[in-house]
């Protein structure tokens, strides 16, 4: 009898141990899947950040030119430089508009993918 009780206890422990192993494995699989989802977001996040940096850089260039163009002496001392700066500022404004559009597209793509990852994680 004692041996059969011991065997029954061991079998019960095996079953509970198997359940614990299965739970650990499931959690591990969930963590791995979450890491994979985050990794899939990485290129989108990098593209968004690169676009944002480009917007900031062009914005700083425009601010520099605006400061230069705000100097009234520029127009009297060097009208050619004033004209060149005005043309460059116009080109930068166009590039800024394009960069902002690229940033918006990249941001929307990242946010949509991130929302999908969050929805998958909650499911």
Average pLDDT, the chain: 86
* Residue range 63-118, pLDDT digits in tens: 999 999 999 999 999 999 999 999 999 999 999 999 999 999 999 999 998 888 77
**What percentage of the chain reaches a pLDDT higher than 70?**
85
Residues 6+ positions from 40 with CB-CB distance below 8 Å: 113, 117
Domain ranges across the chain? 2-122
Place of tokens 């400061």: 67
Distance CA 32, CA 20 (A): 18
Residue 10: per-residue pLDDT: 52
**pLDDT at residue 4 above 70?**
no
Distance CA 23, CA 14 (A): 14
Residue 117: per-residue pLDDT: 78
Instruction: Write the CA distances from 66 to 60, 61, 93, integer angstroms.
Output: 10, 9, 11
pTM over 0.85? The answer is no
């Amino acid at each position: 009898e004692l041996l059969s009780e011991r065997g029954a206890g061991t079998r019960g422990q095996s079953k509970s141990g198997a359940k614990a192993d299965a739970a650990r494995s499931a959690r591990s699989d969930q963590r791995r899947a979450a890491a994979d989802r985050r990794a899939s977001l990485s290129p989108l996040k990098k593209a968004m950040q690169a676009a944002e940096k480009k917007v900031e850089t062009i914005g700083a260039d425009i601010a520099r030119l605006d400061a230069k163009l705000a100097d009234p002496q520029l127009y009297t001392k060097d009208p050619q430089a004033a004209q060149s700066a005005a043309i460059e500022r116009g080109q930068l404004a166009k590039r800024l508009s394009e960069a902002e559009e690229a940033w918006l597209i990249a941001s929307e793509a990242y946010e949509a993918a991130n929302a999908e990852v969050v929805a998958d994680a909650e499911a």
